[in-house]
Structure 1
Amino acid sequence: MRAFIVKRYGKKEKLHLTELPEPNVKENEVLVQIHSAGVNLLDSLIRNGDFKLFLPYKPPFINGHDLAGVITKVGPKVGKFKIGDEVFSRVGDYRIGTFAEYISVNEADLALKPKNLTMEEAGSIPLVGLTAWQALVEIGNVKKDQKVFIQAGSGGVGNFAIQLAKHFGAYVATTTSAANIDWVKKLGADLVIDYKVEDFETKLGDYDLVIHSNRDTKILEKSLRILKPGGQLISLVGPPTPEFAEKIGLPWYLRLVTKLLSSGAKKTAKKLNARFLFLFMRAEGSQLGKITQLIEADIIKPVIDKVFPFEQINEAMTYVESGRTKGKVVIKVK
């Protein structure tokens, strides 16, 4: 099969197209012929080596986290799926490799593809959908009439999170550029701030929840200050916390590293009587199934910026890295 691999870590490195054997299928896995693969900033960060302290992939390895495709083989202990099922997934950490024609996936990480979506639309959903679900529902426990600030509303996670928060009845504020203001309002945003000319801290206050996705330390501090007492900020970009390190089973010295990295944000949050949490989303087929129900009910719609052919994965990643996408970028594999 054809696959794009990371030969060595580095920001200037390209993925290399190569021929590899078709993956073997373990007893609780299925083999998926990949039709489409979502492209995420995480894919670039993995290639760069930004996460190798926590996710030490050893090059060469196949990159890619999102997929939509068709099951062609099933392991003997698989009970939820059969050959021919159309599925989608954000595959598990240490099992990545969706920039390829086939991949073996644990059945716990899979869900049936929403019937009303194309393969390209379905391939755009898993990582951003699960990130939004775990931030808003699992951790944030968002409720009707709560005030939620979702940064970068026109991005992949942002547009999904706006739709999900509105489904649960929240009042949603977001940031975007002037060109996308009307568009994010149509997604459901109640208050939209042009981040190029307006300071969101002067516009917002007394918020229950912030979904934080900007690496600028000053933006993090501003975001904490708009929270009400008891409010919480869930960061998708860090700094990582000891709770995260413990959850994924990192050794004591890496837990110490995360304690040092996150100490400033935690101290600021504590002074403001707020909470700072770090989310590194995980694969979860059961949550994808709940997302499928919302999509099939037309409550949430996928937003695709651009579809690239399989051979142009490097160009697709560069486009995502530009930060100018409006929705998701997808690779058409089959």
Structure 2
Amino acid sequence: MDEMIFRIGQRLENLQIKTLLVLARAKESIVILTERGNLIFLELWNNPTFVDAKTNMHSGVLKLISSAKELKLKIVSFANPRQMYIAFINVFGKKWTTRDICFACSGLLIGGIIGLTIGVNLRKRQPVLRYMQAIQCSNYLGPESVTIAEDAFAPYECTDYDVLVNVKAASVQVIDLQICSGYGRTLRRILQQSRSDLPVTLGRDCTGVITDIGSKVTRLEVGDEVWLSVPFWCQGTLCQSMLVCENRVARKPKNIGFEGACSLPYAGSLALSALAEARIEALNARHKRVLVQGGCTPVGCVLIQLLNHWQAEVTATCYQRAVPVVKALGASDMIVLTEMDTPNETTFSEIDRLEQNNAYLKELKTRGDFFDVIIKTGVECDLDNHDLSNFLKTDGTIISTLPPALTSDSYGVFRRLLLSFYINLKYKLQDFLGLPKNNFDETHMCYVTLDRLTEFVEDGYLQTVVDKIYQPHDIEIALHHIQNPHSMGSTVITFR
């Protein structure tokens, strides 16, 4: 037992000695570090650069204190009523000469003008907010995303080349259905230079009355009854008021009303563009054979009338219900499409469509006709160009007025940035070189085309074809109606 106590005591002594050694070494290290730190601090403190900096800082503080004292004395001196009275007497108590009075008045006048100018320029202008009713697409989920906005922002002032139109009526087009599903969203954001392309107002054409014009507008006047058409990447026309560039606006025909007239601007522009692409005009259309696929569409109705007036031989496709209409428009021959079992539905099943295409192809083969031009204006028959080319003459051509597919709609952020850079660079080069801009094949939507349509209407050989007229709150019914393959002519929304 004693031996165990002895060993424990011996180990404790050894531990105590080691602890003292460690503490002594730690103390020596701290003393050494402290001495080195003092030496480094003294070297920095006595460094010439640091000494100069201390001297400059001290001088700066003294000058600041001196300036503050002088400013205090001046303020006290100026605030002294006695000093203010003496200064007032020195200025106004002497006898003023005519020269002094003129200088004083001039100073007051110039100072007042400068102050007023600065005040007007710096005045915080309150934005004028006006609201209107508009039919808009709030997201790209199809026709179900269309809403009637009662508080849409209404334009109220024109820039130099713009006109403000009070919309009376606007048509609903098939492209509006595609816009509801995202058609043109990338180009819409780039070309409108907007962070977001939503909400987008639907409608591609309208009629109305001009309520205001820009300072440099010379072709139009306030009070003119006009019609207009806009491209797919612009905000649409299904709203109560619209601000648009004067180049897209023309006076509407005087012999038709607002609702009838709005069936022609967009459809007529596409029809004239298709005829120009096919190189058909009044001078060479005689006896040309043209197949209009979709004779009851808005574009088809315009094409049939123009081609008939130019004495071309027009064959049009339509359903049995529309035969009297197509015949009255001037079609010399008709291909009556097979009626489906569910004529009131907006879309056909794949089996029904396949049967219809086969029947249409069989009818073309049975006839054995060859056409100079085939113009596709509707989707009721979706034969591809390879099948249709078998019914063309040697130099014949196939033209489509349907909206072309846009690969840019599926672009991601990086590719969208590249496309934006390319478009902006292209436009800057065109402006620099003075070249005309081609806004994605929409140059035909301008007042020149609309003026031609006005002449056709006023001369009496272009008639309006309106199937249904709805109020804005019936937009869902209107969109449902234009999807029906049995609809004829244009579907119109009236804002009156």
Deviations 1:254-285 (A, max 9, x none): 8xxxxxxxxxxxxxxxxxxxxxxx97784121
**1:171 aligns to 2:313 (yes or no):** yes
**1:2 aligns to 2:133 (yes or no):** yes
Deviation at 1:148, TM superposition (A): 0.5
Residue aligning to 2:393: 228
What is the alpha-carbon distance in structure 2 between the residues aligned to residue 280 and residue 229 of structure 1? 29
> Which piece of structure 1 moves more, 218-227 or 82-91?
218-227
Deviation at 1:105, TM superposition (A): 1.2
**1:201 aligns to 2:334 (yes or no):** no
SS for the counterpart of 2:183 is coil
What is the alpha-carbon distance in structure 2 between the residues aligned to residue 316 and residue 69 of structure 1? 20
1:149-188 equivalent positions in 2, closer than 5 A: 149-188=291-330
> Which piece of structure 1 moves more, 53-62 or 158-167?
53-62
Residue aligning to 1:98: 237
Which one has the bigger helix percentage?
2
Which amino acid letter does the alignment assign opposite residue 190 of structure 1?
S
**1:58 aligns to 2:190 (yes or no):** no
Q: Relative contact order (alpha carbons < 8 A, sep ≥ 6): 1 or 2 greater? A: 1
Residue aligning to 1:266: none
**1:132 aligns to 2:271 (yes or no):** yes
Deviations 1:197-235 (A, max 9, x none): 553422253211111135565343332221111111111
Q: Find 1:309's aligned residue among 457, 464, 471.
A: 471
| 1:92 and 1:282 in contact (8 A); partners too | no
Q: Find 2:177's aligned residue among 38, 44, 54.
A: 44
What is the alpha-carbon distance in structure 2 between the residues aligned to residue 93 and residue 239 of structure 1? 11
Residue aligning to 1:117: 256
Name stretches of at least 5 consecutive residues in structure 2 with no aligned partner: 1-131, 190-195, 339-358, 408-414, 420-439
Q: Find 2:247's aligned residue among 96, 108, 118.
A: 108
Deviations 1:243-263 (A, max 9, x none): xxxxxxx99x98xxxxxxxxx
Deviation at 1:68, TM superposition (A): 0.2
SS for the counterpart of 2:145 is coil
Which amino acid letter does the alignment assign opposite residue 173 of structure 1?
T
Q: Give the alignment's Cα RMSD to 1 decimal.
A: 2.6
Residue aligning to 1:293: 455
What is the alpha-carbon distance in structure 1 between the residues aligned to residue 442 and residue 214 of structure 2? 29
Residue aligning to 2:144: 13
Q: Find 1:85's aligned residue among 224, 227, 240.
A: 224
Deviation at 1:31, TM superposition (A): 0.3
What is the alpha-carbon distance in structure 1 between the residues aligned to residue 223 and residue 255 of structure 2? 17
> Which piece of structure 1 moves more, 313-322 or 111-120?
313-322
SS for the counterpart of 2:144 is coil
| Superposed structure 1 runs of 4+ greater than 4 Å apart | 53-57, 214-217, 238-242, 278-282
What is the alpha-carbon distance in structure 2 between the residues aligned to residue 187 and residue 204 of structure 1? 24
Q: 1:184 to 1:42 in 2, by over 3 A?
A: same
> Which piece of structure 1 moves more, 131-140 or 223-232?
131-140
Deviation at 1:169, TM superposition (A): 1.6
Residue aligning to 1:333: 495
Deviations 1:276-327 (A, max 9, x none): xx97784121111011111011111001101001221222112112222111
Deviations 1:120-153 (A, max 9, x none): 0011111111111111135432421111100111
Figure out how many residues of one structure are paired with residues of the other and give that number: 304
Residue aligning to 1:211: 375
Residue aligning to 2:331: 189
Deviations 1:60-88 (A, max 9, x none): 12111110000000011111101000000
Deviation at 1:27, TM superposition (A): 1.1
Q: 1:55 to 1:225 in 2, by over 3 A?
A: farther
What is the alpha-carbon distance in structure 2 between the residues aligned to residue 67 and residue 289 of structure 1? 15
SS for the counterpart of 1:83 is coil
> Which piece of structure 1 moves more, 317-326 or 64-73?
317-326
Q: 1:53 to 1:191 in 2, by over 3 A?
A: farther
State the identity as a percent.
Answer: 28
**Larger-Rg structure:** 2
| 1:3 and 1:101 in contact (8 A); partners too | yes
Name stretches of at least 5 consecutive residues in structure 1 with no aligned partner: 243-249, 255-277
SS for the counterpart of 1:314 is helix
What is the alpha-carbon distance in structure 2 between the residues aligned to residue 285 and residue 139 of structure 1? 21
| 1:9 and 1:49 in contact (8 A); partners too | yes
